[in-house]
A and B are shown apart, each in its own frame.
Chain A
Amino acid sequence: MKKETSTTTDAELLPSAVPFWRDPEKRAIIFQIVALLLVACVSYYLFTNTQANLDRQSIATGFGFLDKEAGFEIGESVIDYSAADTYAKALLVGALNTVKVSFIGIVLTIILGTFIGISRLSTNWLVAKLAGGYIELMQNIPVLLQLFFWYAIFYESFPSPRQALNPFTGVFLCNRGLIFAVPAANPAYAGMGWAFLAALAIGWGLNRWGRQRQARTGQIFPAVRVTIALVIVLPLLVWLGYGAPTAMNMPELQGFNFKGGLTVTPEFSALLLGLVFYTAAFVAEIVRAGIQSVGRGQVEAAMSIGLYPGQVLHLVILPQALRVIIPPMTSQMLNLTKNSSLAIAIGFADFVAVTNTTINQTGQAIEGVALIMLIYLFFSLSTSLFMNWYNKKMALVER
């Protein structure tokens, strides 16, 4: 290696020239180029094979099939659908079903999981042990097996519609599902819905006003209790205002099945129950870990100041516990959404099931699988974004 020395007066020693095969920066670039070339070659190879195979089997490519008539029925749907509708609509029905079961599942899981997590920490030995047993049991049995189990219970243990179980008036359990009476359509219910929202809005406003008053005068306003009261009373007043309608849409046995009322199919019930019971066990552990992460010293310090237990929970424990709970909880909610894809195994028409039927009929496997992966990627990435934002916002400030 030649050393270049400058002959000018401001001695500017240039770094010695390094042959590029020993220069780490150049080596990195070459390495990456090679890696990308490799990926490109493999992709090209797979691509050409796929083209050839698709041509040979006369399978179309592209998403043109979305406009074609679907030609198959779907077991249950949130919107109107018939076999004459397009594939695009069928896929939409599947997606909506996925969203429906995921959303209800998430709400129920959070409630059940939090309840069991707190029970696990109870000072009552019996309750704590039962909660612990539930957690261990549900976590260690595969979710698919749990789904099959619930589905089998519905189909084998429940009788046919003609001999349906009737635990309460208007509620029937049979192997066609859970059928129950719902209030008959009436403008009162829309009114009650608005009243509910109005109560929440008023409650939120009262909370703000109450906190400002507390800052000024020190008096504490029981915002939570008042909001709960409003949420119950306002819709009740609306209901009375409409003449207290009590007409119910009762299910009635006609022939071999029930008509009227609302039916919750065994497929949906089995999927919902299986997912909720399984995921709740994981959520319970997360809640438990979160509450335990708040050291005893924090509780003792709060109690020493004179805060009573409700205040200790609300001002000291929950803010710290929620920071620890929410990130893994969000992962579990995402897992529940992904696990809802198992619906195909028990015949519930979620997005994967509908897409599978589409693939079977059109032969366009690549587009179908790509669609499935895209939709779940969408869920996952939005959840990741939310979590990153949440973590940044809530991070405890340290040195």
Chain B
Amino acid sequence: MNETEIQTAVTPAEGPIIEVNSMHKWYGDFHVLSDINLKVKLKERIVICGPSGSGKSTLIRCINRLEEHQRGQIIVNGTELTNDIKNIEKVRTEVGMVFQHFNLFPHLTILDNLTLGPIWVRKTPKKEAEETAMMYLEKVHIAEQAQKFPGQLSGGQQQRVAIARSLCMKPKVMLFDEPTSALDPEMIKEVLDVMIDLAEEGMTMLVVTHEMGFAKSVADRVMFMDAGQIVEQNSPHDFFDNPQNERTKLFLSQIL
């Protein structure tokens, strides 16, 4: 299927879940993101790769407003991201984020880490929040650690908890910012397995990663970014076997 013709494949009732139109971002004088155009539809899995400094992390951080864009539009689930606090909060409840360094709250138990969002943002009663939390902890195979503290867990375990924490908010989209880059090699697999399960259940995902095996097996689309621009995007098969752009070819030759 030709991914760039998403518009025709989508019926008017279900528009793209994320829409980025002509987005630019500057850090001071430095033009970090340049003319980004992106449409993500529901249940789509996109892997974003590229050299460091290419702006890939910045791009997904703009989608949940951890960074601000100066020009262009970002529309998530029908809500446009502007400086309006209400919009930002609405978007953040629909978009989950998993960080490179986990960022679990060290002063709370694993269970409390997961129930924090539902209790205070979605105003869920405690019992219900805890049941949901335990269900997601089972899903990421870490239910027995519910009463421990993050400092007692290994890196791989912490990252799986971080994924469960985002899932407890029942987001429509999950963003992953180099989720396995800070992990020891033997722990990478356990986290990737969880992400593969999620993908197979139909979660919409944007994943910034260097794990090309994951991209090949799970992604619907692979995007290559360099110097703030989307250079090439294609289905995994076409992307890896038949890169069109010189820069893409150079990058692939270095990492594969």
Contact = CB atoms under 8 A, between A and B. Distances in A.
Instruction: Answer whether A and B touch in the complex at a CB cut-off of 8 Å.
Output: yes
Interface of A: 214-220, 295, 297-298, 300-308, 311, 315-316, 319-320, 323, 396-399
Given A304-B95, A307-B120, 16 more contacts: A214-B125, A218-B119, A218-B129, A297-B101, A297-B103, A298-B105, A300-B66, A305-B116, A305-B165, A306-B89, A306-B92, A306-B117, A307-B117, A323-B107, A397-B148, A397-B152
B134 interface: no
B124 interface: yes
Contact of A217 (B103, B107, B125, B162): B125
A398 B89 contact: no
Contacts of B125: 214-218
A304 B107 contact: no
B103 A298 contact: yes
A396 to B, nearest CB: 5
A347 to B, nearest CB: 48
A311 B97 CA distance: 18
B117 A308 contact: no
B214 interface: no
B66 A303 contact: yes
Contacts of A306: 89, 92-93, 117, 121, 169
A397 B148 CA distance: 9
B97 to A, nearest CB: 4
B194 to A, nearest CB: 18
The 8 closest A-B pairs by CB, nearest first: A398-B151, A301-B103, A215-B126, A305-B117, A297-B103, A304-B97, A397-B149, A306-B92
**Which one of B85, B103, B149 has the greatest number of beta carbons of chain A within 10 Å?**
B103
A308 B123 CA distance: 13
B234 interface: no
Contacts of A320: 105-107
Interface residues of B, number: 37
Contact of B116 (A303, A315, A399): A315
Nearest to B124: A218
Contacts of B96: 304
B108 to A, nearest CB: 8
A219 B152 contact: no
Interface of B: 64, 66, 85, 89, 92-93, 95-97, 99, 101, 103-107, 116-117, 119-129, 148-149, 151-152, 162, 165-166, 169
Say what secondary structure dominates the interface of chain A: helix
A381 B19 CA distance: 63
Contact of B85 (A295, A298, A304, A308): A308
**Which one of B66, B104, B120, B165 has the greatest number of beta carbons of chain A within 10 Å?**
B120
Given A303-B92, A304-B92, A399-B152, A319 B121 contact: no
A304 B123 CA distance: 16
A248 to B, nearest CB: 46
A302 B121 CA distance: 11
B105 A304 contact: no
A157 to B, nearest CB: 48
B121 A397 contact: no
B121 A301 contact: no
Contacts of B117: 305-307
Given A215-B125, A398-B151, A399-B152, A308 B103 contact: no
A306 B104 CA distance: 15
A253 to B, nearest CB: 56
A318 to B, nearest CB: 10
Contact of A214 (B66, B119, B122): B119
A311 B101 contact: no
A319 B149 contact: no
Contacts of B105: 298, 301-302, 316, 320
23 contacts: A218-B119, A218-B122, A218-B124, A218-B126, A297-B103, A300-B66, A300-B103, A301-B97, A301-B99, A301-B104, A301-B105, A301-B162, A303-B92, A304-B66, A304-B96, A304-B166, A305-B116, A305-B117, A305-B166, A307-B120, A308-B85, A320-B107, A396-B107
A255 to B, nearest CB: 62
Contacts of A298: 103, 105
B221 to A, nearest CB: 23
Contacts of B99: 297, 300-301
Given A306-B169, A308-B85, A319 B107 contact: yes
Contacts of A301: 97, 99, 103-105, 162
